Amino acid sequence: MGKQLFWNNSILQDSKEYLYAADNLINHQTLYSWNLNHAYNPDWLSKRPILYPLILALFKTVSLGYNFVFLLLVYLSQNAASLFSFYFCVKILKFLKININWKHASFFALFSLSQYIYCNTIMSETFLQLCLCAMVYTQICKPLNFKWSLLSALILICGLALKPVFMPFAFAYPFICSLRHLPKFDYKYLLPSLLPIAFIVFTISWNQSRTGYRQYSSISTINLLHYNTYTMLMYKYGEHRADSMVDEIHFKGNLLGSYSAKQEYINNSCKTLIKDNLETYSFLHLRGMAFCVLDPGRFDLSQFFGLSHRKNLLYETNKDNALMRVFNSILNPLGIILIVLFIFNLFKILLLIKFLFNKKIAMFIRLALFCLPFYIVFLTGPIGASRFLMPVIPLLFTMVLSLESWNLLKRKSSNSEAI
C-alpha cells in the first residue's frame, strides 16, 4: 500500500474502466465504464457491474477531490476486506476444532503475493473474495435458520453485483441449499435462495432497457470472442488467421445495425466455432485450468512494479514452441521469484488433493470449501491466470491449514471421527 500511495500507483486497464464508471455515476448518473467523450459503445453500459463503481464513487465523494485521500480510502478498505476474509477462514478452522499451525500459515501467506498486489490495486477482486469467504463461513459455521439463509443470499447478491462470474452459481444455489437442509426441509429456507436469481433477472431487464439486448454483462460476449474463441483459433490456425477471423465476425456484426443483433451474431458465431472444434477447445480449457492454479503471477508482479513484460503469455502459449516461450519469459529480474512461486503452487495442489481425501473432515465441509475454488478455476477456462485464483486464496488457506501434516509421503493412521 505504501508503494501505491507514495511511489507509483500502478493501475490496470480494468482499473481505468472502474474509475470511469465511478466518475460517470457521480457526474452523469449513469453506469458507463469508459470516457463519454469518446465514441459511444453500448458494451460499456453493462461491462462492469454496479457495486464496485458505487464504492469508488462513495470514496471519490468523501475525498473531496483529493486523489491521495481517495486512494488511501480504497486501499485501506481493501486491506481490511482481505483481513476479514482470512478472519472468516480462521473462524472456520476453529469451528472445526483444528489447531492452526502458524508456521504453515506464515509460509502460505509469504508465497501468496497476488493477495498483496490486488488488495492494493483498484480492482474488485478483494471484495469478491470477502463475499466468497463470508458465504462459505455462513454455510459451515452458522445454524440452519431463516436469518442466516437470508444473509447468505444477500452476500451472494453482493458477489453478483461485483462480478458476473457468480451468475451460473446463483442458479445452482437453490439446489445446494435444498440439499443442505435435507432430510428436514422447510420451504421458508428456500425462499431466500431465490433472491440472487431475482437480482439477475432485474439486472438483465435493466441492461435490456439501456442497451436493447438481454444480457447480464457484455463482458461475457467480449471474453467469448476475444479470449475463448480467439485463443482456440490462434492455437489451431495461427495468429494472423485468428486475427482475420475475429475481425470478420466484428465486421459482419457491425453490418447488422442494432446492438442486439450484433451481440447475438457474435455469440452464435463463437458458439458455432467452439462446437465445430470442441476437442481442441476442451484441451485448451483444461490446460487453462491448469495454468490458473500453477501460474506464479508474472503479469501481476510486472504490472504492479512497472516492469516490462513484453509479451502476453496467454497468446504466446498458443504458438509454436510454447514451452520455450514460457521459459524465456522468466529470464528477467523476476525469474527466480517466479520459479519459487511455481514450485509453491505445485506443492499447494498436492496438498489440496490430500485435503480432498482427508476423511477426518466431513464430506460436506470438504465440498463446501473446495467447490467454489473449483468453480472459479473451471469458469476461467482457456484464459486461466493467477489473478482469477486470487479471490479464493483464503479458502485454499483453510484447506491446506486443516491438514495435520504437510508431509505428502507419510500418512498417519487415526481413529478420530469425521468433524
Residue pLDDT, tens place only, 248-265: 999 999 999 899 999 999
pTM: 0.91
* Higher pLDDT among residues 416 and 354, named by residue: 354
Instruction: Give me the pLDDT at residue 325, please.
Output: 62
Does 381 score more than 90 pLDDT?
A: no
Does 127 score more than 60 pLDDT?
A: yes
Q: Give the residue carrying C-alpha cell 529470464.
A: 331
Domain boundaries, the chain: 2-206, 219-393
Among 85, 195, 177, 172, smallest CA distance to 132 is for 85
Q: How many residues does the chain have?
A: 419
Distance CA 213, CA 226 (A): 19
**What is the residue-averaged pLDDT of the chain?**
90
Does 94 score more than 90 pLDDT?
A: yes
Distance CA 17, CA 52 (A): 11
State the pLDDT confidence band at 185, using cuts at 50, 70 and 90: low
Instruction: Give me the pLDDT at residue 309, please.
Output: 59
Instruction: Give me the pLDDT at residue 34, please.
Output: 97
Instruction: Give me the pLDDT at residue 320, please.
Output: 60
State pLDDT tens for residues 261-312: 999 999 999 999 999 999 999 999 998 899 889 888 888 888 898 876 555 5
Does 313 score more than 60 pLDDT?
A: no
Instruction: Give me the pLDDT at residue 383, please.
Output: 84
* Higher pLDDT among residues 181 and 199, named by residue: 199
Q: Give the residue carrying C-alpha cell 510486472.
A: 302
